Amino acid sequence: MRENNNPEILRESGGLTSPNLSGGLRYTARQPILDAKNNLYGYELLFRDGKTDAFTSDGELATRTILDNSILFGLDQMAEGLPIFINCTLETLVDGHARVLPSALTILEILESLEPTPDLVEACRTLRAEGYRIALDDFTWRPDWRPLLSLADFVKIDFVATNAAQRADIINKVRAQEKKEKRRTRPIQFIAEKVETQEDFELARKEGFQLYQGYYFCRPVMMRGRQVPSNRYFHIKILEELNHTPLNIVRVCGLVKRDAALTFRLLRLVNSPLYGMRQEVQSIQSALIVIGEDMFRRVALLAITSEWNHNQPNEILRMALVRAKFCELLAPALDLNSTEQYILGLLSLMPAMLRHPMDTLVAGMPLREELQQALLGEQNEQRPLLTWLEHNERGEWELCDQLASSINIQPQLLARNYEQALLWAQTAINLGSHKQKRAA
């Protein structure tokens, strides 16, 4: 899926460095692809070289861009070792630049704007023989695409640009070609992209799609007449205590201890390398004393949010953590409170976690009015970092540029801190997610 431009992204050769593409700024984004059970299957990685706003036909610069990004983004950190989907130009495929990517984890997306020339087909055939998988992006049925369809492992269909009849026609024709060829040991998987609502997701699943790309899993399903679970309000009571300065240690520890799973998560996080502890902490009170009040607030908030995300796609929590860390890192540049910005980013996906609209949730939150309004979407002084990140998540590069200019922050600084937030969030998700062993 491509948003606005023709971004390219590339990958790994280990470690994280500060890139310098001849002064060109770069943005990166990753968009999750989930299966029918809302489990994370992989990511589409989007890249934009700010000098050209797209991939260049200059082979030397293209290769340098690929290699530079391969150092910058290790798949073990950027995509957790899951499959990655990347948009490919003709040069990327025919000139062999894609080979810097690991074949076992890479799906090469053939853009719908390309012509299925013999050179392109042969390049795809060679790359597939080397272990790469092929996806046809924004696919619509065209007879001249049959040679590429014979090589494809995935077909992506735009759920917004097509109706049900058109999608059924595409799926039926693809399946008919598979049956006719009788050469495929593994059927093509259909990916519904731009799936933005739960209704879209349910419809796509009924229509025969196996994978789904979009933000449907972040959209709350309205639950009229239902209350937010009482234990969630208990967590809000803890947040209210955390909002006081100084903390009432006795009251905070007493509240946290009443939730065994929350206590387990908080202690696990405090004792993790994430917070650099040199000694094991075995009680809530000692944790608060050792790491200090501000850090304790962050750890407790992460633990509470992990509990909120129970039984929801883990990607929601991952996105919330990226937002939290990103807003915290950039807060000093706008003379904003880092702790408040961390909270703003983390709570911005609260409706997706609790499956209730923000306006019914924010009223009970112990936050200043400006932060409450920012959570409700008001573009006030508290919200520019969160807004920039929302644009970046969708690859809306032009809007990113406009916002960066309006708040007078260099785009390179925004992009670099986004990358740092991604790496931090991955460590946090492994320690704080609901997949960890729960307390007895």
Q: Distance of CA 368 to CAs 12, 59, 180, 362, 382, Å?
A: 42, 53, 64, 11, 11
The answer to whether 86 and 12 have CB atoms below 8 angstroms apart is no
Give me the pLDDT at residue 301, please: 79
Last residue in a domain, options 218, 250, 271: 218
Q: Which of 197-211, 272-286, 338-352 comes out lowest in average pLDDT?
A: 272-286
Highest-confidence segment of 67-71, 142-146, 250-254: 142-146
How confident is residue 7, by pLDDT bands cut at 50, 70 and 90? very low
Task: Give how many domains the chain has, as a whole number.
Answer: 2
Give me the pLDDT at residue 6, please: 30
Q: Which of 93-97, 112-116, 152-156 comes out lowest in average pLDDT?
A: 93-97
Do 182 and 255 share a structural domain? no
- Residue 180 CB neighbours (<10 A): 8
Do 190 and 246 share a structural domain? no
Asked whether residue 9 is domain-assigned, the answer is: no
Strand partners, 28: 47
Asked whether residue 112 is domain-assigned, the answer is: yes
Last residue in a domain, options 218, 242, 277: 218
Percent of the chain, pLDDT > 70? 76
Give me the pLDDT at residue 274, please: 62
- Residue 369 CB neighbours (<10 A): 8
How confident is residue 73, by pLDDT bands cut at 50, 70 and 90? low
The number of angstroms, rounded, from the C-alpha of 99 to the middle of its chain's C-alpha atoms is 25
**Angle between helices 384-393 and 314-330 in degrees, nearest 10:** 130
Q: Which residue range is the domain that position 323 belongs to?
A: 230-432
Three-class HEC string of the chain = CCCCCECCCCCCCCCCCCCCECCECEEEEEEEEEECCCCEEEEEEEEEECCCCECCCCHHHHHHHHHHHHHHCCHHHHCCCCCEEEEECHHHHHCCHHHHCCHHHEEEEECCCCCCCHHHHHHHHHHHHCCCEEEECCCCCCHHHHHHHCCCCEEEEECCCCCHHHHHHHHHHHHHHHHHHCCCCCCCEEEEECCCCHHHHHHHHHHCCCEEECCHHHCCCCCCCCCCCHHHHHHHHHHHHHCCCCCCHHHHHHHHHCCHHHHHHHHHHHCCHHHCCCCCCCCHHHHHHHHCHHHHHHHHHHHHHHHHCCCCCHHHHHHHHHHHHHHHHHHHHHCCCHHHHHHHHHHCCHHHHHCCCHHHHHCCCCCCHHHHHHHCCCCCCCCHHHHHHHHHHCCCHHHHHHHHHHCCCCHHHHHHHHHHHHHHHHHHHHHHCCCCCCCC
Cα 327 to Cα 382: distance, rounded to the nearest angstrom: 10
Q: Considering Cα of 417, then 422, then 423, then 427, what sign does the dihedral take?
A: positive
pLDDT at 330 over 70: yes
- What is the chain's mean pLDDT, rounded? 77
Do 140 and 244 share a structural domain? no
Cα 426 to Cα 76: distance, rounded to the nearest angstrom: 10
Do 395 and 319 share a structural domain? yes
More confident residue, 132 or 51: 132
Do 181 and 38 share a structural domain? yes
Asked whether residue 128 is domain-assigned, the answer is: yes
Tell me which residue has tokens 């992006």. Answer: 137
Which pLDDT tens digit goes with each residue over 361-385? 787 677 889 999 999 999 999 999 9
Highest-confidence segment of 63-67, 98-102, 141-145, 223-227: 141-145
Residue 300: which residues within 8 A CB-CB, separation 6 or more?
A: 238, 242, 256, 266
Asked whether residue 344 is domain-assigned, the answer is: yes
In CATH, what number is assigned to the domain containing residue 379? 1.10.3210.10
How confident is residue 277, by pLDDT bands cut at 50, 70 and 90? low
Do 339 and 251 share a structural domain? yes
Do 373 and 275 share a structural domain? yes
pLDDT at 276 over 80: no
Q: Which of 186-190, 227-231, 264-268, 418-422 comes out lowest in average pLDDT?
A: 227-231
Asked whether residue 7 is domain-assigned, the answer is: no
Asked whether residue 94 is domain-assigned, the answer is: yes
Do 114 and 155 share a structural domain? yes
Do 253 and 171 share a structural domain? no
Q: Which of 56-65, 87-96, 250-259 comes out lowest in average pLDDT?
A: 56-65
Highest-confidence segment of 65-74, 267-276, 335-344: 335-344
Do 389 and 348 share a structural domain? yes
Which pLDDT tens digit goes with each residue over 26-62? 556 778 899 998 888 998 877 654 433 333 334 334 3
Do 234 and 212 share a structural domain? no
The answer to whether 301 and 348 have CB atoms below 8 angstroms apart is no
Strand partners, 42: 33
Last residue in a domain, options 218, 247, 276: 218
Strand partners, 213: 33, 193
More confident residue, 66 or 213: 213
Choose among 229, 197, 224: nearest CA to 311.
Answer: 229
pLDDT at 275 over 90: no
Is the full-model pTM beyond 0.95?
Answer: no
In CATH, what number is assigned to the domain containing residue 38? 3.20.20.450
Q: Distance of CA 280 to CAs 159, 271, 277, Å?
A: 50, 6, 7
Asked whether residue 10 is domain-assigned, the answer is: no
Which pLDDT tens digit goes with each residue over 390-428? 998 887 888 988 999 999 998 888 988 988 898 888 777
Do 303 and 184 share a structural domain? no
Q: Which of 85-94, 330-339, 340-349 comes out lowest in average pLDDT?
A: 85-94
Residue 344: which residues within 8 A CB-CB, separation 6 or more?
A: 324, 327, 371, 374, 375, 382, 383, 386
Asked whether residue 258 is domain-assigned, the answer is: yes
